[in-house]
Amino acid sequence: QVQLQESGPGLVKPSETLSLTCTVSGDSISSYYWSWIRQPPGKGLEWIGYIYYSGSTNYNPSLKSRVTMSVDTSKNQFSLKLSSVTAADTAVYYCARRGAAAGTVWLDPWGQGSLVTVSS
Amino acid sequence: QSVLTQPPSASGTPGQRVTISCSGSSSSIGSHYVYWYQQLPGTAPKLLIYSSDQRPSGVPDRFSGSKSGTSASLAISGLRSEDEADYYCAAWDDSLSGPVFGGGTKLTVL
């Protein structure tokens, strides 16, 4: 079955860049869309953006100026970079597979999540 | 503040039927399917309902979804202790050109 696993530093200093990678197993990344979602401690879910294997992206307008997503089909991985982070970016970051249909919020499966804390 | 509005909490006793509401707008729920996610304590969200009223394989038929206009509901019948979790609704939003989530509802089984 398809499995996703986030990896990256758990601690990032303010003003620096948060970098996470999601490794996909059990399915080729060259299908579907691949998403990033985050959840601040004790709070709800926030969509960050998604990327297609071709490299086309769609970002949340509230984060667009700071977000970059990329895909590496040779490694079956996709990545997230969030620049100029502040304490407000402290959250559990999830990667998930998104359905192919336009306008869908079909997200399945999800990775287990990676807690990133922004602190000096 | 979330674009989709959910009650922060809900509760019920074992065996009861509970419903969780989700209110949106014409650019979100009014124009698109609704999705529901279940997040058990300490775990990642799991897809519970898609296309407003469809269950993925493996989801018990105790869970059902419905949509009317700019609102949607998740119903859980025959409540069990293992249903205690946070539930999130989601929908595509044309204003955002992306998905929006509700703030989540914490379900307590008394």
Indicate the SS3 state at residue B75: strand
* pLDDT for position B88: 98
**B37 with A58: Cβ contact below 8 A:** no
pLDDT-based confidence at residue A101 (cuts at 50, 70, 90): confident
pLDDT-based confidence at residue B1 (cuts at 50, 70, 90): low
* pLDDT for position A109: 96
Quick check: A83 and A59 in contact, CB under 8 A?
Answer: no
* pLDDT tens for each residue of B29-50: 999 999 999 999 999 999 999 9
Q: Choose the mutation target among B5, B49, B50 for the interface with A, i.e. most A CBs under 10 Å.
A: B50
What's the CA gap between A22 and A36, in Å, rounded? 9
Choice between A99 and A39, residue whose per-residue pLDDT is larger? A39
Nearest to B92 among A45, A59, A105 (CB): A105
Within an 8 Å CB–CB cutoff, is residue A15 touching chain B? no
Q: Is pLDDT above 80 for B2?
A: no
DSSP result, B30-47: TTS-EEEEEE-TTS--EE
Structural tokens at position A78: 């996709």
Give B 69-88 residues with CB within 8 A of chain A. Answer: 88
